[in-house]
Amino acid sequence: MSRVKLADEAVDGDTPRVPGRNVGVCDLCAKERPTWALTKCSICGHMICQKCATFAYGRYFCSKRCAEFFFHDEGLLEEEGEET
């Protein structure tokens, strides 16, 4: 009895590579999340998940303090005055 060949034998390099896990860590809760579920704070750059993020003024922030800094620009004028 002959054996039925269903498919050609796999040859090294003929199959696409499986991508690695794309995960990141939320800087606030330290939980591992998919990279698509993380966003960057518009002010300080912390990576935050949507559960920890504060949404204000059409942007995501890591805290209410960063959101208020974005709107009020606190301290920016003082820093510019010190440089000159």
Kindly write down the DSSP assignment for every residue of 22-66, as one continuous string. Answer: -EEE-TTT--EEEGGGEEE-TTT--EEETTT-EEETTEEESSHHH
Q: How far, rounded to the nearest angstrom, does the alpha carbon of residue 81 sit from its chain's CA centroid?
A: 34
- Distance of alpha carbon 20 from alpha carbon 32, whole angstroms: 15
How confident is the model at residue 12, as a pLDDT? 61
- Distance of alpha carbon 60 from alpha carbon 40, whole angstroms: 7
How confident is the model at residue 3, as a pLDDT? 65
Average pLDDT for consecutive 10-residue bins of the chain (84 residues)? 59 63 91 93 93 92 92 60 48
